[in-house]
Structure 1
Amino acid sequence: MTKLSVNINKIATLRNSRGGDVPNVVQVAKDVQRYGGQGITVHPRPDERHIRYKDVLDLRPVVTTEFNIEGNPVQKFIDLVLKVKPEQVTLVPDAEDAITSNAGWNTIKHRDYLREIISEFQDKGIRTSIFVDPDLEMVKGAANTGTDRIELYTEEYARQYAKGNKEGIKPYRSCAEAANDLGLGINAGHDLSLSNIEYFNKNIPGLLEVSIGHALIAESLYQGLEYVINQYLSLLRD
């Protein structure tokens, strides 16, 4: 089945809004795994407005599934990843003031830059993934960076699906087919939810992993974290 990695950034956002340590991100990570989540994703940003760098260090000993650290590979981020040695690092070209991720890499323009960073992580045994738009040229460019996987940026799919336009899946399917041919693993994330994940999963050949945070945490406010995680796992089974 496609693996579910739960992004816990929003838990840290809630904690930071009040100060103190409630909710506790380490405990939530433990609970996510206990409820069946197959990975924990965090995306520390330079201003630490949600996940803090210390959180990443605190989480490393308790993540027993797969630890995925996302972020823009500025030097501070690179140093953190090399220290923590997660199972996977996902490179995202965030601007420092971005509210959330809003674009994939230009894998052609930044090929040499990405190749150097990816090589550094792979030398330490860390699987690499790079965030890309559903653009065939960017997927082909990704293969030239040496990355292990790509993460398809799914905001546009989610927007089109919400409008009832299932044709919005087509560029994602084409990119997935190209990635399979190029030997790239496929992850996906951004605005995936209980309402749109099943259709996406069934129509993307070779989908290995989805990273879901905002929607999953919001859905859990109404239905409970354990129930929601198990709903996702059910929808992600082949």
Structure 2
Amino acid sequence: MTFITTALSVNLNKVALVRNTRHLGIPSVTRAATLCLQAGAHGITVHPRPDERHIRASDVPELATLLKDWPDREFNIEGNPFHNLMDVVGQLVAAKLPVHQVTFVPDSEGQFTSDHGWSFPADAQRLKPLIDQAHAWGLRVSLFMDADTAPMAAAKALGADRVELYTEPYAAAWGTPEQTDQLARFAAAAQAALDAGLQVNAGHDLNLDNLTAFIAHVPKVSEVSIGHALIADALEMGYAATVQSYLRCLTLGDRLAQGGLSVG
């Protein structure tokens, strides 16, 4: 039996956050990307906020240039399309640099971290022209969404290709009596997205403890984007060992989901 592992995209925001505390250029974001890709990561994610608290606008073309040497990997750029995201992505497209997916996230400019998904139908009409623009650039569009079944058909009708399920509620419930209910909630949301014709991504606070169970129970997750926990683990384990550990979690989760786990 062949197992297709859920793709791992490494979010490098926290590498840039540490770098930005000094003016020495270390740790290097591009070096971190190289080491993660060499270890088997399927892609790189960045979230260039307007205040450049971590990823800077100048990092994005440097990473895109690096990814020219990795044609089988993907570059995912996330952010609020009503802030600076479309300008950043448009510059890459104009320069013919690689970018494969844009993930639209409804965060405010001063927000500590992303903490909710888009609202439907409230956000639908203003998102439509931006989705159309991304498609005109030849890019896949993923919408950052809460784990609710109701909006998935509307997200597909709007033109989205994928949704990224905001997984912090699941991570917060890990190890508590609410864990099972949260897994069921996310599984239902993912199935609703799949039924609508969307693919499913996931991210936010996924880690080595909770990742395998999520992949095993939530159907057909195409990609996870993991930053904070992965970079924290890399401080202790190194990039290569950390990426390989996350890939093992994904492989195990996929095998459990497909009923193909063998013993011995």
Aligned residues of 2:208 and 2:246 also touching (Cα < 8 A): yes
CA distance in 2 between counterparts of 1:15 and 1:195 reads 27
Greater mean alpha carbon deviation, residues 165-174 or residues 183-192 = 165-174
Partner of 1:22: 26
Tell me the secondary structure at the aligned position of residue 58 of structure 2: helix
Aligned mates of 1:120, 1:48 — CA distance in 2: 24
1:82 equivalent in structure 2? 90
Q: State the match for 1:116 in structure 2.
A: 129
Q: 1:9 aligns with which of 10, 13, 19?
A: 13
Deviation at 1:171, TM superposition (A): 1.1
Q: Does 1:148 align with 2:161?
A: yes
Letter aligned with residue 64 of structure 2: R
Contact 1:104–1:132 at 8 Å: present in 2 too?
yes
> Which residue is equivalent to 1:98?
111
What's 1:229 paired with?
A: 243
Where do residues 1-238 of structure 1 align in structure 2 (5 Å cutoff)?
A: 1-63=5-67, 64=70, 65-74=73-82, 76-85=84-93, 86-163=99-176, 165-237=179-251, 238=254
Compute the TM-score of the two structures, normalised by the length of structure 2: 0.87
Equivalent residue, structure 1, for 2:261: none
Partner Cα separation in structure 2 for residue 75 and residue 200 of structure 1: 31
Structure 1 Cα separation of the partners of residues 88 and 224 of structure 2: 23
Which of the two has higher C-alpha Rg?
2
SS at match of 2:44: strand
1:193 to partner: Cα distance: 0.2
RMSD: 1.1
Residue by residue over 1:67-113, the C-alpha shift from the partner in whole angstroms, topping out at 9 and shown as x without a partner, is: 00000012532121122141000000011111110110003111111
Does 58-67 or 2-11 show the bigger shift?
58-67
Q: Which runs of no fewer than 5 residues in structure 1 stay unpaired?
A: none
CA contact under 8 A between 1:111 and 1:144: conserved in structure 2? no
| Alpha-carbon separation, structure 1, partners of 2:105 and 2:84 | 14
Aligned partner of 1:150: which letter?
V
Q: Distance in 2 between matches of 1:94 and 1:84?
A: 22
Q: Which residue of 1 aligns with 2:257?
A: none
1:75 to 1:13, Cα distance in 2 relative to 1, 3 A: closer
Aligned length: 238
Q: Percent identical across equivalent pairs?
A: 44
Tell me the distance in 2 between the aligned counterparts of 1:167 and 1:178: 17
Distance in 1, matches of 2:115 and 2:17, equals 19
